[in-house]
């Protein structure tokens, strides 16, 4: 449905997107993951025909975004990083306006009602956009992308700036949209992409560093090998108790976080599960474990992991 070949974008001397190729089959939800400055927005702006590329090719349902912009753009709904909302319009006035702007041909009332229902903004349709919360504004942005029934939805960091409850709600909406749309969604949060997407592409410094199913990626970067431990007792006694456990790569003390206990980061050798031996060794020495928790990988850790 979406095909990108050897896409490169330079801003002056700055290489923002470096020879990226990927394709997204019809109906897939693809996560576009990368830290700030990775080139996500640039790629999405090129995909939607909003920016031109320095070299490369973008095809939407077979239509080249440069040679056949009208046909290609008809198939795309875009939620940019900063949605172009008109603050002095009500929600329905704005969607009406977008409908005319896009030259949509669906039955207007039925179409817009259905969209408002899908993104759950029917109850605010007569409110001024300026008076809506950030979460509702974002949903109006999603609604505008859906006007004209495009098959492909391109969503640039749709949850940025939302509170946790709004994030859960909008993720839910996007998942549902994924049932009858091809969706490309960018994020700098791994958990988010894992929660919503079937496949994940990771970019860093404009380069594609990994492409896999969310499930496989999750496996290859799962981190049962590194965890944080809180033990009651004094540091020396605890370290002595842990000294002879096979498979521990290193133990790093983080000092006292809670009165009477010490926190540690422990990393095990690959494929070694040292949690049970640690439990036994500490129990034998009457050193209670107060907490043991797998450590979340940072995006940087993941890049190291997937590029090695």
Residues that bind ligand ADP (CB under 6 A): 11, 14, 16, 34, 36-42
Closest to Mg ion by CB, 41 or 90: 41
Closest to Mg ion by CB, 44 or 60: 44
| Binding flag, residue 90, Mg ion (CB under 5 A) | no
| Binding flag, residue 41, Mg ion (CB under 5 A) | yes
- The Cα 11–Cα 261 span in angstroms is 52
Give exposure, 33-66, as e/b (b: 16+ Cβ within 10 Å): bbbeebbbbbbbbbbbbbbebeebebbbbebebe
Segment lying near Mg ion (by CB under 5 A), choices 41-49, 72-80, 161-169, 292-300? 41-49
Widest pairwise Cα distance in the chain? 75
User: What does 83 interact with, of ligand ADP, Mg ion, none (CB < 5 to 8 A by kind)?
Assistant: none
Closest to ligand ADP by CB, 222 or 298: 298
The DSSP element (H or E) to which 143 belongs, if any, is helix 134-146
Tokens in use for 260? 């009477």
- The Cα 253–Cα 119 span in angstroms is 47
Cβ-proximal residue to Mg ion, closest one: 41
Closest to ligand ADP by CB, 90 or 186: 186
Residue 269, φ and ψ in degrees, nearest 5: -65, 155
User: What does 38 interact with, of ligand ADP, Mg ion, none (CB < 5 to 8 A by kind)?
Assistant: ligand ADP
Q: Which residues from 274-303 bind Mg ion, rule CB under 5 A?
A: none
Give me the least distance between CB of 74 and ligand ADP, in Å please.
Answer: 25
Give me the least distance between CB of 54 and Mg ion, in Å please.
Answer: 18
Give me the least distance between CB of 35 and Mg ion, in Å please.
Answer: 10
Q: Are strands 55-60 and 226-232 parallel, antiparallel or unpaired?
A: unpaired
Q: 3-state DSSP call for residue 182?
A: strand
CA distances from 299 to 30, 35, 111, 144, 252 (A): 18, 7, 40, 31, 21
Give me the least distance between CB of 154 and ligand ADP, in Å please.
Answer: 13
Give me the least distance between CB of 16 and ligand ADP, in Å please.
Answer: 3
- Residue that has been written with the tokens 């700030």 in this structure: 36
- Under 8 Å CB-to-CB from 299, ≥6 apart: which residues? 33, 34, 35, 188, 190
Closest to Mg ion by CB, 204 or 261: 204
Give me the least distance between CB of 45 and ligand ADP, in Å please.
Answer: 8
| Binding flag, residue 42, Mg ion (CB under 5 A) | no
Residues making contact with Mg ion (CB under 5 A): 40-41
């Amino acid at each position: 449905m979406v095909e990108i070949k050897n896409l490169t974008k330079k801003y002056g001397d700055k290489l923002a997107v470096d020879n990226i190729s990927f394709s997204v089959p019809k109906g897939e939800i693809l996560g576009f993951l990368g830290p700030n400055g990775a080139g996500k927005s640039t790629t999405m702006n090129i995909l939607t025909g909003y920016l031109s590329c320095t070299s490369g090719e973008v095809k939407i349902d077979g239509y080249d975004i440069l040679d056949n912009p009208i046909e290609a753009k008809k198939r795309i709904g875009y939620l940019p990083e900063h949605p172009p909302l008109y603050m002095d319009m009500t929600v329905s006035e704005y969607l009406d306006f977008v409908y005319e702007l896009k030259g949509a041909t669906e039955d207007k009332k039925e179409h817009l009602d259905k969209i408002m229902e899908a993104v759950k903004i029917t109850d605010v349709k007569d409110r001024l956009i300026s008076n809506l919360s950030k979460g509702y504004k974002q949903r109006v942005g999603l609604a505008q992308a859906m006007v004209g029934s495009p098959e492909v939805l391109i969503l640039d960091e749709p949850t940025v700036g939302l509170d946790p409850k709004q994030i859960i709600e909008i993720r839910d909406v996007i998942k549902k949209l994924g049932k009858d749309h091809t969706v490309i969604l960018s994020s700098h949060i791994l958990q988010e992409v894992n929660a919503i997407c079937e496949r994940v592409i990771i970019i860093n410094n404009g380069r594609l560093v990994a492409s896999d199913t969310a499930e496989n990626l999750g496996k290859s970067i799962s981190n049962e090998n590194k965890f944080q431990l809180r033990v009651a007792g004094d540091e020396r006694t605890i370290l002595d108790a842990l000294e002879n456990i096979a498979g521990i790569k290193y133990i790093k003390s983080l000092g006292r976080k809670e009165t009477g206990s010490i926190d540690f980061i422990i990393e095990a050798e690959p494929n070694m599960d040292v949690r049970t031996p640690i439990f036994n060794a500490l129990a034998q020495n009457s050193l209670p474990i107060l907490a043991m928790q797998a450590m979340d990988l940072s995006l940087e850790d993941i890049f190291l992991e997937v590029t090695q």
